[in-house]
Amino acid sequence: METLVQRDALARFGYALSDTTRTQILLSLRSGPGYPSELAEKIGVSRQILSNHLSCLRGCGLVAAVPEGRRSRYELADPRIGRALDDLLGLVLAVDPSCCPDAETEGCC
């Protein structure tokens, strides 16, 4: 039986993945914790943009900030998130290009 909590968690996960920057952050953290400056450089965005997306991901409950002195490192809030991303990456989809011609930039259908 599906619960409201499960639907909410899936909606938050879907929302997080709907943006390429947030997706890149989650994929980067899949292999281990990271620091904002390193993540920004790796992904190719400004630290301010990265900070905004990390705030969103924290609010969705997908990443956690771990204080280390004057810095914070970020990690996936639950190891199952990384495994879910691995499963999603393993999917092979039969895509109809006429349905979602600009799916990467505008969202699908």
CATH code of the domain made up of 4-106: 1.10.10.10
pTM: 0.81
Q: What's the whole-number average pLDDT of the chain?
A: 88
Domain parsing of the chain, residue ranges: 4-106
For residues 6-15, one letter each, b for 16 or more C-beta atoms within 10 angstroms of the residue's C-beta and e for the rest, the string is eeeeeebbee
As a whole number of angstroms, the distance between CA 98 and CA 109 comes to: 10
Beta carbons of 80 and 24 less than 8 angstroms apart: no
Predicted confidence band of residue 8 (pLDDT cuts 50, 70, 90):
confident
Q: What is the mean pLDDT of the segment spanning 10-27? A: 94
Confidence at residue 4, expressed as pLDDT on a 0 to 100 scale: 58
Whole-Å CA distances, 22 to 1, 12, 43: 30, 12, 10
